[in-house]
């Protein structure tokens, strides 16, 4: 019915009446006979012609599926969340829940001896996690002041969550996660095709399972969800280009946030150049009179929950980040307006130690976990390279290239510099904000509004 909007002068009501008359739409009475109904056959024929034949894929965006996904690794969930920007996710949070012992993925292709070593390392990493959790809880119980009107049970829950938050830095990417996914048929089709060409067997199996479930409700729209020759070739080249390094390198000593390129760069006055670009975008022109006044008017009265006009997307920042896996998963899941290109999980970019672990004198437990992780990583890398990422833990840093516009930066800074934000992502956003303020101080002075 929505597809008729572009070619029919009739109202929605009139088109609906026509479709019902032709028996082209399901009613409540025949809802459960989907596979045998005339409506199903006509819908399939319609989509074969318009969506597949003519390439009007936007029609497929009106059909939506919701998937509940369980017992996939954190490694696989990150691949999924990178696969398409038009999917929405809510994922199991290791900040608020304690994963169970033994809940991890064992990748295929390992030799019997390496499989034994793999499982032993997973157990050792969970031992470190529990040791950190207990040590953190004890430290917090002694150091955290009582909140007014907080009873003992409430205090216990609060301290448990704070202990979960930093103990999780010892957990490997093999750990199980669960997530809820919502996507339209077009985004799901492209996502599944991309995942089906992945290096990891688990990710390819996940793509096949997703396709099988979505086919039950959107059978025709998932045509062409298999990876093309180009996608397979590009994925292979991408894997080769990243060259997972089994040894640490000087990346561990590089700044956590580097601003590589930005609007107005190379101009005598980069900020003035950026303001001119923004003002011209606001006015939908290539020139604008009083640029400062135009930009000031666009920012006037901006409240803590307001979204900036689309024109602010014309100002861009290209940055290189070195962030912990724990931080990376938050950025990826919550910052859907940013563009990311990430390296595979590696041990060569250093690691992050939560400040509370340092204050509690528990750093040694985490470094022991890192040592177990890196020994296994090297063994996996030498025997089955595509499985090495499962040994990486949340403390290890990942190299991420990101492209963020000024509109998204305002949202990011406003949300992630608040007191409620987790310390690691708050630190990264703060450093990104500082880098931007160094080149465009007047443009972003109202970003932090909460």
SS3 category, 65: strand
- What residue spans in the chain does CATH classification 3.30.1360.170 cover? 251-343+398-439
Q: Which tokens go with 323?
A: 């962030």
Q: Are 164 and 95 in contact (CB under 8 A)?
A: yes
pLDDT tens figures, 111-142: 999 999 999 999 999 999 999 999 999 999 99
Predicted local distance difference test score (pLDDT) of residue 424: 96
Q: What is the pLDDT of residue 138?
A: 97
**Which residue bears the tokens 């107005």?**
264
Task: Pick the closest to residue 37 from 49, 51, 22 (CA basis).
Answer: 22
Of 14-28, 43-57, 198-212, 256-270, the poorest mean pLDDT is in 43-57
Give the model confidence (pLDDT) of 306-342 as tens digits.
989 999 999 999 999 999 999 999 998 878 789 999 9
How many other C-beta atoms can be found within 10 angstroms of the C-beta atom of residue 406?
23
Element (H, E) at 91: strand 88-91
What tens digit of pLDDT does each residue of 385-442 get?
A: 999 999 999 999 999 999 999 999 999 999 899 888 899 999 999 999 999 999 999 9
Confidence of residue 263 (pLDDT cuts 50, 70, 90): very high
Is residue 39 predicted with pLDDT exceeding 70? no
Burial of 431 from C-beta contacts in 10 A (0-12 / 13-18 / 19+): middle
Q: Does the pLDDT at position 2 exceed 80?
A: no
Residues listed for the chain: 450
| Residue pair 190/224 in contact by the 8 Å Cβ criterion | no
A 10 A CB-CB count for 111 gives: 12
Tens-place pLDDT, residues 226-248:
777 877 787 777 777 666 666 66
Task: Specify the CATH number for 251-343+398-439; select among 3.40.109.10, 3.40.309.10, 3.30.1360.170, 3.90.1150.10.
Answer: 3.30.1360.170
Nearest-angstrom CA–CA distance, 86 and 188: 9
- Assessment of whether the complete model's pTM goes beyond 0.75: yes
The reported pLDDT for the residue numbered 230 is 79
The two structure tokens encoding residue 441: 């101080």
Which residues, including other chains, have CB under 8 Å from residue 246's CB and lie 6 or more apart? Answer: 347, 348, 377, 378, 381, 382, 388
């Amino acid at each position: 019915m929505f597809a008729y909007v572009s070619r029919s002068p009739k109202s929605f009501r009139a088109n609906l009446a026509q479709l019902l008359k032709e028996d082209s739409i399901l009613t409540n009475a025949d809802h459960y006979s989907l596979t045998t109904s005339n409506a199903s056959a006509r819908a399939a024929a319609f989509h074969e012609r318009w969506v597949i034949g003519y390439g009007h894929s936007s029609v497929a965006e009106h059909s939506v599926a919701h998937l509940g996904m369980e017992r996939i690794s954190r490694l696989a969930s990150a691949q999924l969340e990178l696969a398409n920007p038009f999917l929405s996710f809510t994922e199991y949070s290791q900040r608020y829940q304690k994963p169970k012992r033994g809940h991890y993925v064992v990748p295929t292709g390992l030799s019997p001896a390496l499989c034994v070593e793999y499982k032993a390392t997973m157990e050792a990493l969970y031992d470190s996690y529990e040791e950190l959790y207990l040590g953190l809880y004890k430290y917090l119980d002694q150091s955290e002041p009582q909140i007014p009107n907080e009873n003992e049970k409430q205090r216990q829950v609060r301290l448990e969550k704070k202990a979960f938050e930093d103990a999780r830095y010892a957990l490997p990417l093999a750990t199980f996660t669960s997530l809820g996914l919502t996507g339209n048929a077009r985004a799901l089709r492209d996502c599944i095709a991309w995942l089906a060409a992945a290096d990891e067997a688990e990710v390819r199996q996940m793509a096949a399972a997703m396709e099988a479930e979505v086919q039950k409700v959107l059978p025709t729209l998932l045509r062409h969800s298999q990876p093309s020759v180009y996608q397979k070739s590009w994925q292979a080249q991408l894997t080769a280009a990243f060259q997972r390094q089994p040894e640490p390198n000087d990346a561990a000593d590089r700044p956590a946030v580097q601003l590589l390129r930005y609007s107005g760069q190379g101009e005598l006055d980069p900020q003035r150049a950026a303001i001119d670009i923004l003002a011209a975008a606001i006015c939908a022109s290539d020139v604008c009179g009083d640029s400062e006044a135009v930009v000031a008017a666009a920012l006037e009265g901006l409240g803590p929950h307001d979204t900036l006009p689309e024109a602010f997307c014309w100002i861009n920042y290209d940055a290189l980040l070195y962030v912990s896996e724990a931080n990376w998963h938050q950025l990826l899941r919550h910052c859907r307006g940013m563009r990311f290109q990430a390296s595979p999980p590696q041990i060569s970019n250093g690691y992050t130690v939560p400040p509370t672990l340092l204050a509690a004198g528990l750093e040694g437990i985490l470094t022991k976990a890192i040592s177990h992780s890196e020994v296994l990583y090297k063994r996996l890398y030498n025997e089955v390279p595509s499985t090495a990422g499962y040994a990486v833990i949340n403390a290890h840093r990942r190299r991420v290239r990101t492209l963020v516009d000024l509109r998204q930066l305002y949202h990011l800074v406003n949300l992630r510099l608040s007191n409620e934000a987790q310390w690691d992502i708050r630190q990264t956003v703060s450093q990104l904000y500082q880098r931007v303020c160094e080149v465009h101080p007047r443009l972003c002075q109202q970003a932090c509004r909460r």
